Amino acid sequence: MSEELIIRHCSPTLAGLKTANMFSCRYDDTHTLNGAIRAFNKRLGKKGLRMMPLRYGKERALIYVYRPDKLKNDLRDPLSKRLLTERGYDCASCGRCIGRLIERIKQGDDFPHEIGLFLGYAPDDVKCFIRDPNEGCKCTGCWRVYANESEKKRLFARFQKCTEVYKRCFSEGITLERLTVACGDAI
Cβ contacts of 165 within 8 Å, gap of 6 or more: 11
Instruction: Specify the 3-state DSSP secondary structure of 139.
Output: strand
| Full-model pTM | 0.92
CA 130 to chain centre: 18
Parallel, antiparallel, or unpaired: how do β-strands 50-56 and 60-66 relate?
antiparallel
- pLDDT in tens for each of the 187 residues of the chain? 899 999 999 999 999 999 999 999 999 999 999 999 999 999 999 999 999 999 998 899 999 999 999 999 999 999 999 999 999 999 989 999 999 999 999 887 678 999 999 999 999 999 999 999 889 999 999 999 999 999 999 999 999 999 999 999 999 999 999 999 987 544 4
Q: Backbone phi, then psi, for 53, in 5-degree steps?
A: -80, 135
Instruction: Give which of 68, 66, 30, 61 is closest to 51, Cα–Cα.
Output: 66
Residue 157: φ, ψ to 5°: -65, -40
